[in-house]
Amino acid sequence: MSIAAISRDSPYSHAEYSKRLWLDFPLLSDWNAEAVRAFGVSQELDGMADSPVRSAFVVDAGGVIRFSKRYADSQVPDADELAAACRALSAV
């Protein structure tokens, strides 16, 4: 199993953020909003098209989405809930 995070931020900001937090998984840049549109989480926000809705996905090795959840902009995804979804996937 592997973990990755993705956002519309630049690869350069991801490198700095990852270094500051000592992250041991990749932060991927969706600079062109391809993933935002593909995952169906695109919205217009403050006049900007293709701003992502805060969301989390668990995708299996075959590329099938097994868990997804949208969050309010003020919410932080629940790490315990995501870990449980990952454990459930590995039990299949």
CA distance 92 to 73: 32
pLDDT at 40 over 90: yes
Indicate whether 61 and 38 sit together in one domain. Answer: no
Indicate whether 68 and 25 sit together in one domain. Answer: no
Please give the model's pTM, rounded to 2 decimal places.
0.79
pLDDT of residue 89: 83
Kindly indicate the confidence band of residue 73, based on its pLDDT and cuts at 50, 70 and 90.
confident
- Between the alpha carbon of residue 31 and those of residues 13, 68, 74, the distances in Å are 11, 22, 22
pLDDT at 92 over 70: no
Indicate whether 10 and 35 sit together in one domain. Answer: yes
pLDDT at 88 over 70: yes
Indicate whether 41 and 13 sit together in one domain. Answer: yes
Indicate whether 8 and 32 sit together in one domain. Answer: yes
Element (H, E) at 80: helix 79-91
Instruction: Give the residue-averaged pLDDT of 18-29.
Output: 90
Domain that holds residue 78: 54-92
Give the three-class secondary structure for 34.
helix
Overall number of domains in the chain: 2
Q: Share the mean pLDDT of the chain.
A: 90
Indicate whether 25 and 69 sit together in one domain. Answer: no
74, 55, 75: which is closest to 65 by C-alpha? 55
